[in-house]
Amino acid sequence: MKKLKHEAELLKEALKQGMEYAETRGVAEFEATDSAALKIEYVYRLLVHDKLIQPLAKGQENQPKMKHKLASWMAKKLPKGDPLL
């Protein structure tokens, strides 16, 4: 797993867009008191369910790998020349 250049910022943007996606679909409502770990896992599982990202291998689903997967997803969605790339 190769670390992305701006992985933390990409993850933050991925969570923001993933949460907006979930709320727009009407499948989730996030609270300010929800932990980051909960949000990461929910957004990851929703994107896998909707086939927007490939799932991690069985037994490999842990927080660091979910974070990386979400950051990679965001990196692919950004336009070329974006400062986060």
- Mean pLDDT along residues 53-73: 94
**pLDDT, position 82:** 75
- pTM above 0.85? yes
**pLDDT, position 34:** 93
**Chain segment 15-55, per-residue pLDDT in tens:** 999 999 999 999 999 998 999 999 999 999 999 999 999 99
Residue 42 CB contacts under 8 Å (≥ 6 apart), including other chains: 22, 28
Domain limits, the chain? 7-77
Task: Report the candidate in 43, 66, 71 with the shortest Cα–Cα distance to residue 56.
Answer: 66
Residue 85 has pLDDT above 90, yes or no: no
Q: Give the architecture (CATH level 2) of 7-77.
A: Up-down Bundle (1.20)
- Cβ–Cβ < 8 Å for 9, 85: no
CA distance linking residue 60 with residue 71, whole number of Å: 17
**pLDDT, position 65:** 95
